[in-house]
Structure formats: structure tokens, C-alpha cells
Amino acid sequence: MNKPMFTMMDKAYTQKDFAQYMGKNYRAGGSSKDPQRIINTLYKQYVDEMNIGMRENNLEKEYPDFRFLIEEYRDGILLFNLTDQNVWTKAIKDTSGAKEFHERNKEKFMWEERLDASIYTCANLKVAEKVRKMASQNKTDKEILASLNKDTIINVSVESKLFLKEDNAMLDKIWTPGFTPLQDTKGKVLFANIRKIVKPTPKSYAEARGLITSEYQSWLEKQWVDSLKKKYPVSIDKKVFDSIK
């Protein structure tokens, strides 16, 4: 059973190899009951499969361009995994490191100038005048809503926050502390109470987490690349380099 039946690229395929193949693939021999015909059918399939397998295993030797492509693919996967380990995933999981990075670089994560304001949407002019009067008396938004909204009747709603430029067209036109003129919009009366202008301030870690993570990744990558350059200094053979150009 150890006698070779055929040889490909210096590798011998024995009777035993073929017998094992038949044991696993006898159903592929067809419906014939003739043992010789079944063996001949399986033998042809066996030779073809071994030939294809041999060619696949030697593609990189026979086709240099394919070998270069595979090497590039392997290097790409290796670089991706290393970068993920040292930069991307690390930046996401290392919250303490990201917070320290934020503390050292707060000037990179700043709010632009904003307005501390409340925008009131009133049911009619009469309600708007009441709201304006209460706001001028330093009543809180909560007090205003509680006073003018009864049960299911909503006479006024409010949006109160720190507004950036282009958040609201009405505020953009004024951008100074005080009350804006009353505006009639779709049957509602709108105006804003601009309490103060808030100068640029650093964003908290929670407010700028996405941007901080991105910047932290860039910083980690630079540190990693710099350490690799120190550990593995690059030397260029100028003669060979010039010949490539």
C-alpha cells in the first residue's frame, strides 16, 4: 500500500493515500455497482483535487506578483491588529489616560462664545406680555410655567440652555443681553430672554469625549511610531534608492 500511484512536484501519492480518499468519498463514485468503474471515477477526481491543491499551495512560488499581493495583505492585517491594540482600542478603554490627556490639553477642547438664554413660545400676545413681565421680575422658568400653564392647557413652553452661534436665528440677530422683540410665528408669539454672554470655556470630559478620544488616538499613534523609530532606526541605501527612482 506504500507504492506510489503518481508523483507531483517531488511528492509521491501512494495507494494508501488513495484508499483513504476512497473511504471518505466513496459516494462520489456515482451510482454504478461496478467496483472498477467506481475506482476509476474516484481516481480521476483524486488526481484532479491533489493537482489543484498542489497548485494552490505553490501559487506564491509560481506567481511573484501574487506572492507580493499576499505579503502586502498579511502585512496589512498585522499593522491593523497592532494599531488596534496600541491605538484605537486602547484609546477607548483607557479612560484614565484619556482624562489625563484632556487635562493637559484643555485649550484644544473649547466652547465658543455662547448665550445663556431662554426662548419662550407663547399662545398669544397677552401671554407673551405676562411672561415678559415675570421674567423681568427674575422669576424662574419653572415658576413661569407653573403660573401660566393649567392642567392640559399649555400657554407657554420654554427652551432654556447655552446657545451657540447658528443654534437660533433670532438670537443670532441680537447676541446681547436683554429681551428680544416679540415675533409672531405660525400663530404663536416668540421672544427670548438673554441673561448673559458666556465667554469661551473649556469643555468637560463628558462634553467632548468623542473629540478627546479621537485626539488621544492621534497622540497615542505618534508616541507609538516615535518609539518604533527609536527602537528600529531606518537606514537607506542611497545607491539602491536612487536606482529605484
pLDDT recorded at residue 67: 87
For residues 142 and 171, state if they share a domain: yes
How many domains is the chain partitioned into structurally?
Answer: 3
For residues 147 and 192, state if they share a domain: yes
For residues 105 and 122, state if they share a domain: no
For residues 194 and 133, state if they share a domain: yes
For residues 19 and 52, state if they share a domain: yes
For residues 125 and 192, state if they share a domain: yes
Per DSSP, helices labelled H in 58-180 are 59-62, 64-83, 89-93, 95-104, 125-136, 141-148, 169-174
Q: What is the pLDDT along the chain (245 residues), one digit of tens a residue?
A: 999 999 988 899 999 999 999 988 877 666 677 888 888 989 999 999 999 998 888 888 888 888 899 899 999 999 999 999 999 999 999 999 999 999 999 999 999 999 999 999 999 999 999 999 999 999 999 999 999 998 889 999 999 999 999 999 999 999 999 999 999 988 899 999 999 999 999 999 999 999 999 999 999 999 999 999 999 998 889 899 888 86
For residues 100 and 127, state if they share a domain: no
Per-residue pLDDT tens digits for 39-91: 898 999 999 999 999 888 888 888 888 889 989 999 999 999 999 999 999 99
Q: Which of 198, 116, 123, 124 is nearest to 157 (CA)?
A: 123
| 94: containing domain | 64-109+207-245
For residues 125 and 238, state if they share a domain: no
For residues 105 and 31, state if they share a domain: no
For residues 119 and 185, state if they share a domain: yes
List C-alpha distances in Å: 106 to 88, 98, 125, 203.
Answer: 21, 12, 45, 7
CB 12 within 8 A of CB 1: no
For residues 169 and 97, state if they share a domain: no
